[in-house]
Structure 1
Amino acid sequence: MGRTMLWTGGITLAALGAVTFLAVEAKSSAPESFAQERPAATAPTTTPKPKPPAAPALPKDSGDGKRVVYSISADRVWLVAADETVTTDFPVVHGAVIPPPGTYKILHRVESATGGDGVPITYVQYFTKSVDSWIAFGAQEPGPSPADAGKRSGGGIRETVENGRRIWEFAPVGTPVVVTP
């Protein structure tokens, strides 16, 4: 074992010597432009993450006072306090039956039901009836995404359970619902 260690040590020292010699030779034969000092490395700059797109503004001519505003074209709901402050807004998915623009009121509420598409929904708030179906906000229980179920539902305007709870707590029976194009 002593001989093997001596042999390995000798080879290692020879290799280090060769590398050192080659480094010195390379430096002495490099063009002068390589020898100039390079600027100190700076910390890499981080690119700020892009901000998420701002939510659309509350539609103009959407009424006044405390109300729920639903924009058909934006697929969005705003909860507006009596002092005209938007307390929250969030995306929704409309069903096959879309209410015409106008002002309605929350007519009836049920904590849970089954949508016309067979999907369990909670925080259901009916605000008008079309020829074919009731039109209501309804929070979709976990399962298929609201976008999937909303395409099949009758007059269901679907939102997440969290957002359904927000409408439920904000808008008792009689609260105006303003539907904009």
Structure 2
Amino acid sequence: MPARIPSWAWVSGLTASAVVAVAVLAVQADQGPHPAAAAAHARTSAPASAHPSAAPKHSAPPALPSASGTGRRIVYALGAKRVWLVDESDKPTRTFPVWPGTVSPDPGTYKVSLRKDSVIGSDGVRIEHILYFAAKSGLSVAFSNAVDGASPPPAAPGKQTSGIRMAKQDGAALWTFGSAATKVVVVK
């Protein structure tokens, strides 16, 4: 009759094998690409570090686009996917990234036409701090944030969405800043 291996030996061997497998996977993961997270909630967005041990880099916020008007206004740059809140002295007081829908407003000057506290968005997500300012392709274009603070899910193929979402704290700041008739300047 062959010698029987004690159960503690099996458990020790399996544990050692599992530790080695996890170590190999960790080394492989560390050598692969690292995603960069957007600092959507920051007053000024610093580039996110690709490696947690790297020191954060502090950079100046993106400059207010030229030809974005004068006076108190909300500036939305389509290409940069970014909003600036600009005071009466033409000084940006806050800037933040946004997640645009599939339908964007044309460049031009608009005014906040309607404010709504909370509704269900066309993607089925409860949104708040809604500031409507334009229309295009039969859709109302508005700034908003998800009540739960999440970024919007990708639009279903062929579905048109016109909401411009932002992080929850940026939505609250925009809501406070953007009263009815506040000027909105959309630039490329």
TM (norm. structure 2) is 0.66
RMSD: 2.1
Equivalent of 1:175, from 175, 182, 186? 182
* Structure 1 residue ranges, 4+ long, deviating more than 2 angstroms after superposition: 47-50, 52-55, 147-153
Separation (CA, whole Å) in 2 of partners of 1:137 and 1:159: 8
Map Cα deviations across residues 123-171 of structure 1 (whole Å, 9 max, x no partner): 000001112310000111226x315357876110000111111011011
Which runs of 5 or more structure 1 residues have no equivalent in the other structure? Answer: 1-46
Larger Rg computed on CA atoms: 1
TM (norm. structure 1) is 0.68
Separation (CA, whole Å) in 2 of partners of 1:113 and 1:153: 18
Aligned to 2:90: 84
Separation (CA, whole Å) in 2 of partners of 1:53 and 1:126: 32
Aligned to 1:148: 153
Map Cα deviations across residues 19-50 of structure 1 (whole Å, 9 max, x no partner): xxxxxxxxxxxxxxxxxxxxxxxxxxxx9824
Higher helix share: 1
Which runs of 5 or more structure 2 residues have no equivalent in the other structure? Answer: 1-52
Q: Matches of residues 1-20 of structure 1 in structure 2 within 5 Å? A: none
Q: Report the 3-state secondary structure (helix = DSSP H, G, I; strand = E; otherwise coil) of the residue aligned with 1:163.
A: helix
Q: Match of 1:154, as an amino acid? A: T
Query: Which 10-residue stretch deviates more, 114-123 or 53-62?
Result: 53-62
Equivalent of 1:159, from 157, 166, 174? 166
How many residues end up aligned between the 2 structures?
134
